[in-house]
């Protein structure tokens, strides 16, 4: 139970798809002009990640990794089909997205109307493939955790796109320097939010995986100080966005 909770918070805040590893940036920038569309896309991402990560976990476990074919018989035990993982993962994702689209259209037209147009976009969203690839490189031990990982990184992505969409709606009324308007200022805001999210790194509790930094050097201490200053700025931004979300 504890490991579930830890993975859940870790994937939402510390390894946030957008702010820590920059996945799904294309749709993050393209679809974040309005809060309502951002919510639709975010929900679709959570959904598809929750379906594809456990599926790809099964593929990885019983087909792809070194010795995974042992269940077929001892003569298959030393096959390693790892090099096929890209093509199989992306095929699974593309198929699942189509399948999900058909099923949702059939059984819940109202959900289809809100998610529908975003589903085809999602097949080529890096966050989805990234979720499966990270699941593979991080050796997620069982299918429950894989499901948890998919859902929680989806939620992280959802929060990110929601926050930026809210900020972008408000920033339309501000006087941004002309060359920065639109794309430029969005990049910079995302950077500041990312710095804010970096501060969640301290949340990591007693774990089996050491934090990524080794012993702190002077440069890192300095980096920490700077982070703290920037964090405050970014958190002001975030506070604004959360207030807006509440107001909706």
Binding residues for another protein, rule: CB under 8 A, are: 19-26, 29-30, 83-87, 90-91, 94, 120, 123-126, 128-130, 133-134, 137, 172, 176-185, 187-188, 190-195, 198, 218-220, 222-223, 226-227, 230
Alpha carbons within 13 angstroms on the beta-carbon side of residue 25 total 11
User: Which CB atom, from 65 or from 70, has the smaller least distance to another protein?
Assistant: 65
Q: What is the number of alpha carbons within 13 Å of residue 48 lying toward its C-beta?
A: 36
Q: Which is nearer to another protein, 29 or 70 (CB)?
A: 29
Cβ nearer to another protein, comparing 42 with 130: 130
Nearer to another protein, 1 or 87 (CB): 87
Asked if 7 contacts 148 with a C-beta cutoff of 8 angstroms, the reply is yes
Strand, helix or coil for residue 31: coil
Q: Tokens at residue 40, please? A: 């639709």
The least distance separating another protein from the CB of residue 73, rounded to whole angstroms, comes to 27
Q: How far is the CB of 199 from another protein (least distance, A)?
A: 11
Residue 52 is given by DSSP the state H
Count other Cβ atoms within 10 Å, centred on residue 16. Answer: 24
Nearer to another protein (CB atom), residue 70 or residue 227? 227
Q: How far is the CB of 120 from another protein (least distance, A)?
A: 8
Rounded Cα distance between 55 and 61, Å, is 10
User: What distances in angstroms separate CA 119 from CA 56, 98, 148, 214, one per listed residue?
Assistant: 19, 8, 21, 41
Residue 78 three-state SS: coil
For the record, the structure tokens of 215 come out as: 């012993």
Neighbours of 216 (CB within 10 A): 11
Residue closer to another protein by CB (options 177, 206) is 177
């Amino acid at each position: 139970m504890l490991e579930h909770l830890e993975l859940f918070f870790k994937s939402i805040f510390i390894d946030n798809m957008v702010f820590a590893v920059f996945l799904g940036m294309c749709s993050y920038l393209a679809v974040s002009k309005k809060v309502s569309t951002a919510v639709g896309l975010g929900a679709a991402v959570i959904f598809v990640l929750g379906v594809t990560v456990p599926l790809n976990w099964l593929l990885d476990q019983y087909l792809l990794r070194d010795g995974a074919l042992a269940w077929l018989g001892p003569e298959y035990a030393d096959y390693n089909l790892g090099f096929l993982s890209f093509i199989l993962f992306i095929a699974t994702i593309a198929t699942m997205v189509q399948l999900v689209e058909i099923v949702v259209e059939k059984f819940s037209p109202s959900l289809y109307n809100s998610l529908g147009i975003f589903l085809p976009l999602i097949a080529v969203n890096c966050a989805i493939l990234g979720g499966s690839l990270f699941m593979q490189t991080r050796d997620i031990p069982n299918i429950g955790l894989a499901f948890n990982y998919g859902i929680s990184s989806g939620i992280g992505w959802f929060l990110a796109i929601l926050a930026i969409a809210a900020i972008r709606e408000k920033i339309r009324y501000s006087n941004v320097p002309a060359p920065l308007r639109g794309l430029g200022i969005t990049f910079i805001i995302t950077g500041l939010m990312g710095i804010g999210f970096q501060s969640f790194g301290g949340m990591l509790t007693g774990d089996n995986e050491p934090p990524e930094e080794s012993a702190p050097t002077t440069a890192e201490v300095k980096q920490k100080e700077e982070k703290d200053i920037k964090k405050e700025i970014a958190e002001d931004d975030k506070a604004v966005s959360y207030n807006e979300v509440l107001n909706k």
